[in-house]
Amino acid sequence: MANIIDGKAVSAQVKEDIRQEVEQLKAKGIEIGLAVVIVGDDPASQVYVKNKEKACETVGFNSYKYALPAETTEEELLALVDKLNKDDKVDGILVQLPLPKHLDDKIIINNIRPDKDVDAFHPVNVGKIMIGDYSFLPCTPAGVMELIKSTGTDVAGKECVVIGRSNIVGKPQAMLLLHQNGTVTITHSKTKNLKEVCARADILVAAVGRAKMVKADYIKEGAVVIDVGMNRDENGKLCGDVDFEDCKEKAGYITPVPGGVGPMTIAMLMKNTLTAGKEHHGVN
Ligand code: GUN
C-alpha cells in the first residue's frame, strides 16, 4: 500500500507559516489585501472563490470580493481591473476563470499589473517562470512541488512525466520540475505509447482532465504519483485523473482526490499574495 500524501495537512502547514508572518507584518502596521473578481454565477467558480476568501481569513489577509453579473462588458471589467491595479490596499488581484464566453480571458489577464498577478498568468510572469527568475509561483504546479517535497523525494536526476500541456498546469509544472533538475517529459493526446512513457516515471504528475485514466499499468513500482485532476466519475462522484484504487498498491506515494493537490493551490495563492504584499511594502 502506497503512502497517501495528505494535501490538507501540508496546505495547513503552509498557511500556518504564512499566518505567523502576517501577524508579524501587522505588528509593524502592514496589512495585505487580495481582490477576487468573479463574473457570472458558475457554481464551481463560486465554491473556489468562497474557499479563497476563507483562506484569506485564516492567514489574516484582507479580502475584497467583486461579484459582477454575467452581462458585465469587457469595458466594465477592465475598468475594475484598472481601479484595483491603482489601489494601494490591494496587493494581489485574481480574476476567477473561466469568464463568460463574451469576455476574453487573455485581454483581461494582460491588463492585470504583473506585480499583482498572484495567479502568475500574465505573460511577463509566465516568461519569468520559463527563465527561472520568478517571485510568483504558478499556484497548482507550485503546490505539486510542495507535495513532492513532503515525501522527501529529491527531484534531481529523476524521470518526471507530466500528462497534460495546459498553460496553467502542464507547461509550468514541467518548468518547475526542470528547475529542480528533473529529467522531464511532457505528454499529451498525441503522445505515442503513453502508457510505456508514464511507466518510466519516478515522479508522475497527471493533469489531463480525464476521469481515472491512469491505471496501475501506467505507473512504475514505488513511483510518486500526483493527481491534479478534478473530475466526476460515472456515478457523479469527485475523482482524479488517476484510478486511485487501482494504483494505490503499486505507487510509493499517491495523492487522493479530493484532499491532495486541491488544497495546495489555494495555499500557494496565499503565498504569492504574501510575496506581492511584502514587495509592495518594501519588506524582505
Ligand atoms: N479557475 C480554476 N482554477 C483557477 C485558478 O487557479 N485561478 C483562476 N484565476 N481561475 C481559476
CA torsion, points 121, 137, 13, 247, in degrees to nearest 10? 80
Tell me if 194 sits within 8 A of 187, measured CB to CB. Answer: yes
- Angstrom distance (rounded) from CA 70 to CA 40: 4
Return the ∠ at Cα 234 (arms to 229 and 238), rounded to 5°.
40
Residue where the block lists cell 500541456: 165
Tell me if 150 sits within 8 A of 254, measured CB to CB. Answer: no
Which residues are 232's β-sheet partners?
A: 238
Minimum CA distance residue for ligand 1 atom 2:
97
Find the residues whose C-beta lies inside 6 A of ligand 1. Answer: 48, 94-97, 119, 139, 265
pLDDT digits (tens), the chain, 284 positions: 899 999 999 999 999 999 999 999 999 999 999 999 999 999 999 999 999 999 999 999 999 999 999 999 999 999 999 999 999 999 999 999 999 999 999 999 999 999 999 999 999 999 999 999 998 999 999 999 999 999 999 999 999 999 999 999 999 999 999 999 999 999 999 999 999 999 999 999 999 999 999 999 999 999 999 999 999 999 999 999 999 999 999 999 999 999 999 999 999 999 999 999 999 999 97
Q: How many angstroms does the Cα of residue 56 sit away from the middle of ligand 1?
A: 16
Ligand 1 atom with least separation from CA of 45:
1
Tally of CB atoms within 10 A around 43: 7
- Angstrom distance (rounded) from CA 184 to CA 173: 10
CATH numbers and ranges of domains, the chain: 29-113 (3.40.50.10860), 139-261 (3.40.50.720)
Ligand 1 atom with least separation from CA of 95:
9
**So which residues are the catalytic ones?**
52, 96, 119
- Angstrom distance (rounded) from CA 62 to CA 157: 41
Q: Is 109 helix (H, G, I), strand (E, B) or coil?
A: helix
Cell of 27: 505588528
Q: Output the pTM of the full model.
A: 0.96
